[in-house]
Structure formats: structure tokens, C-alpha cells
Amino acid sequence: MIAPDRPDVDTRACGAEAWELFYEVMKASKPYMEMVAADFELSPQQMWALKQLDNQRPSPMSALAGLLGCDASNVTALVDKLESRGLVERRGAEHDRRIKVLVMTSAGITLRDRITERIKQPPPAIANLSSADQESLCAIFRRALAVGEALRRSQGQVSADPVRVNAAKARSAP
């Protein structure tokens, strides 16, 4: 597909390259994320799991598995470790006691908030870009999130993280 404003640019090729480059930046940032998790004495998977939990709503373990993109059996070991540190509790769901939901403890909420603040510090590949490049990157990611959310809605899908998507849309609004 040719870009209407730039007939010399094939948007499919540019999109494919952008996606590949994004993947490479994320892959190069893996040691940074491992270091961040280690700073909190967590594995990256445990840190990500804790970040996904909402202290306002108990989350079924199956929902956490979906957010993490793994089988529910894999979540059990992650939750065991988080629970042993007093960061989450397993409880029976109010509507069906057979379903286990995860509730964050006050220690879990505090740690998750500290992780959230720490993750706002970008990895070196982003931190060492110019301010103008960082601003451009933010604007592009906001638009990509808004487009992704619009596509999900048009297909009748629920947003994976409505708070984050709505915040991105608000920041990208004129």
C-alpha cells in the first residue's frame, strides 16, 4: 500500500520494518527489565504479573493467565511465589467459590506502585534519544494505542487495559 501523502513510501514495508525494529528494541531492553525486576527481588514474570493485577477488582487466575499469554497452570507457580512474599492472596470468588481470584495485599499494592514508578525510567535505548525523538516516539505510540483500541472496539473486543488506553487517548487528543 502506498502512502497517499508520500507516493514513494510503501506503508506495508515501513510498518513491517517499524514492527521489527520495535521488537529489536524490546529484545535489547530485556537485560534492563531483568535488572529492574531483580531490584525488587522478583523475576520479570513475577513483576509483570504483579503489574497486571488491579487492587480495586479481584482477578481470576485465568484472567491473569490471559493477560500474561500463558497457560493457567503456569500462573500457579508465579502466584505461589507472590503469595509466599505476602503480595497477593488467593480467595474464592464471591459468585463461585470454585474460582480462585487474586487480591493484592497492602504490601503488594505498595510494591506494584514502586515498580510502576521505576518502570517509568526508560531503558538506555530510549533514555539516550534526544528529547525531540522521545516526544515523537510518545506521539507515535499514543496514536498506535488509539488505533488499536478503535480496531478492537470495531471488532466488538474489550480493551485489554482500558485505563492505559484511555490515558493514552487523552494525552493524544488535540
Same domain, 101 and 170: no
Overall number of domains in the chain: 2
Same domain, 38 and 117: yes
Q: What is the mean pLDDT of residues 111-128?
A: 94
Is residue 2 included in any domain, yes or no? no
Tell me which residue of 138, 134, 123, 126 sits closest to 29, measured CA to CA. Answer: 123
pTM comes to 0.74
Q: What is the mean pLDDT of residues 47-55?
A: 90
How far, in Å, CA of 155 to CA of 69, rounded? 20
Q: Are strands 2-3 and 100-104 parallel, antiparallel or unpaired?
A: unpaired
Is residue 139 included in any domain, yes or no? yes
Same domain, 72 and 90: yes
Res. 74 pLDDT band, cuts 50 70 90: confident
Are the CB atoms for 116 and 101 separated by under 8 Å?
Answer: no
Is residue 18 included in any domain, yes or no? no
Same domain, 36 and 103: yes
Same domain, 44 and 62: yes
Looking at the DSSP assignment, which residues form a beta bridge with residue 10? 2
pLDDT tens profile 123-170: 999 999 999 999 999 999 999 999 999 998 888 876 555 444 444 444
Cell of residue 131, nine digits? 528529547
Cell of residue 39, nine digits? 531490584
Same domain, 118 and 146: no
Residue 99 DSSP one-character state:
S
Same domain, 136 and 73: no
Is residue 20 included in any domain, yes or no? no
Is residue 12 included in any domain, yes or no? no
pLDDT at 163: 44
pLDDT at 132: 97
Same domain, 119 and 40: yes
How far, in Å, CA of 134 to CA of 30, rounded? 19
How far, in Å, CA of 103 to CA of 59, rounded? 7
Here the CATH number for the domain that contains residue 77 is 1.10.10.10
Q: 43: exposed, middle or buried (C-beta count within 10 Å: 0-12, 13-18, 19+)?
A: middle
Same domain, 112 and 37: yes
Is residue 137 included in any domain, yes or no? yes
Range of the domain at 140: 129-174
